[in-house]
A and B are shown apart, each in its own frame.
Chain A
Amino acid sequence: MRGRALRSGSDVSLTSDVRPLTPRVFVTISRKCVPFTPFDRELSKSTIAIVTAGGVHLRDQEPFNISDELGDLGYREIPPDVDSTQLMVTHHHYDHSDADRDINVVFPIDVLRDLEAEGVIGGLARKHIGYMGYTMQLKAMYEGTAREIANDIDKGSRADAVILTGG
C-alpha cells in the first residue's frame, strides 16, 4: 500500500509506504543550514536535560496513546529527582523490553546523577521530557510538539544543554 506524499511546506518532503513496524522512508535531504547553538560553558558547571522520543513517562502519568495510528503528539514532564523505577515506556514502534528492565538505556537519569556525583556535570535540569517519537503527522510534530518542548526546556528547566535520545 503506498502512502500519501506529505508536502510539509519546508524543505523536507516525506513519502511513506504505510506498513506497521517496518516503514520505508524516502526523505529529501535538507538543503538549509544546520541549526546550531554554540556551547561556551564548562561542562562541570552545566546543567543537563534529557529529552527522549522513546515514549518514557511516569507510571502515574497518562500513557501515550498507542492505539492512535497517527501517533500521539503529546509529551510528559519528568522531574530530576524521579525514582527511575517509577518510569515506564509506552511505545509500539520499537522493542523496549530492555528499557522496561533499565530505563537508563533510553532515558539515562541515573547515569546523569552519577556524572553529577563525579563532578563531570554541574547538575540535572529542573525538568526532563519524554514523548513518543513515532508519528505520521510530521509537520504537527516539528511545528507543534517540538516547539512546545523547546519552550518548556528553555523557560522552565534551566538546562544549559540537552541530550536527545530516540529508543
Chain B
Amino acid sequence: MKGIPTVLITVSPEVSAQMRPPRALYPKGFKIGNSLGRPDMRELQKKVLGDALNLLSQNTRPGEIVAVEYPEYGEQYEPPHVKRVSS
C-alpha cells in the first residue's frame, strides 16, 4: 500500500495532537459532536470541510493542528484537556 493522504477535523485538539496526525484542522470552540458545525448550518459546514480539504495542498507541518476561527458558529466551547507525560 502506498499510503492515503488524510486530513483530520478534530474538536479535541490536545487529544488528537498526541497521535500527531499528518494534517488536522481544529475549528475553534466547536463542541464535541459538532465537528463540522451546528445542525443545518450548511454554509458553515461547507466552509469547514473546504478548509480541511485545502490543507491537503498546503505546506502544513505534519503532526501540527491548524486552528481556524468561524465566528458564525456562535457560542464557544472549551475542548478537553489532557495531562502530558513525558518519558
Interface pairs A-B: 5 shortest CB-CB: A37-B3, A102-B39, A34-B62, A39-B5, A39-B56
- Which residues of B lie under 8 Å from residue A36 when comparing CB positions? 3, 22, 62
The count of residues in chain A whose C-beta lies closer than 8 Å to any C-beta of chain B is 49
Q: Interface-forming stretch among A22-30, A62-70, A72-80?
A: A22-30
Interface residues of B in 8-51 (CB under 8 A from A): 8-12, 15-16, 18-22, 32-40, 42, 45-46, 49-50
The count of residues in chain B whose C-beta lies closer than 8 Å to any C-beta of chain A is 46
Main secondary structure of the interface of B (DSSP, over half): loop
Mark A residues whose CB is within 8 Å of B.
Answer: 12, 24-30, 34-39, 43, 48, 54, 94-99, 101-102, 104-106, 108, 110-112, 114-115, 120-121, 150-151, 153-154, 159-167
Return the contact of B33 from the options A35, A94, A164 (Cβ within 8 A): A94
- Which residues of A lie under 8 Å from residue B1 when comparing CB positions? 150-151, 154
When the two chains form their complex, are residues A28 and B50 in contact, meaning their CB atoms are under 8 A apart?
Answer: no
- Which residues of A lie under 8 Å from residue B32 when comparing CB positions? 94-95, 166-167
- Which residues of A lie under 8 Å from residue B9 when comparing CB positions? 163-166
Q: Smallest distance from the beta carbon of B56 to chain A beta carbons, Å?
A: 4
Known: A38-B5, A105-B45, A162-B4. A95 touches B33 (CB 8 A): yes
- Which residues of B lie under 8 Å from residue A105 when comparing CB positions? 33-39, 45
B19: nearest residue on chain A (CB-CB)?
A: A30
Q: Given known contacts A37-B22, A114-B42, A163-B53, what 10 new A-B pairs fall within 8 Å (CB)?
A: A34-B63, A43-B56, A102-B40, A106-B33, A154-B4, A161-B7, A162-B6, A163-B9, A166-B12, A167-B11
